[in-house]
Amino acid sequence: MNDTEPARPRAVLFACGLNSVRSPMAAALLRQMQGGALTVASAGVRKGELDGFAVAAMAEIGIDIAEHQPMTFEELEDWDGLDFDLIVTLAPEAHHKALELTHRLAAAVEYWPTADPTDAEGNREQRLDAYRAVRDQLMARIHARFAA
């Protein structure tokens, strides 16, 4: 590894606002790519409901996130699940929360600004396209950051 490459983490947390779309998608993508080589989880600032369009977009590439249970940072902390050396934030509010956590956690924080596909309008296919775009953007970022 040279000085410009980021350190290879052993445990990664993806975080966004609700833990219902972007962060569970990112966590599932990294899990599939790494095949259990590292610990991967996701959390939100607030608790949302798993989004059906996110489930559909991931199912298209053979990844099932239908059983994902959205959780907050606090819920992770309750079961001592905040042992991460990298927190990747996908939304501004999650980034602020992660930076607060670094006062007591020795974790690096990376901000990957990622559009919220729930804002998309139009028919089902147009809305699903927004989720596909987020999925594909996350996949590219994950490959760039974590590929061996």
Residue 66 burial by CB count (10 A; 0-12/13-18/19+): exposed, middle or buried? exposed
Q: Is the pLDDT of residue 6 over 90?
A: no
139-148 residue pLDDT tens:
999 999 998 6
91-135 residue pLDDT tens:
999 999 999 988 877 889 999 999 999 999 999 999 999 999 999
- Per-residue confidence at 67, pLDDT binned at 50, 70, 90? very high
Check: pTM over 0.85? Answer yes or no.
yes
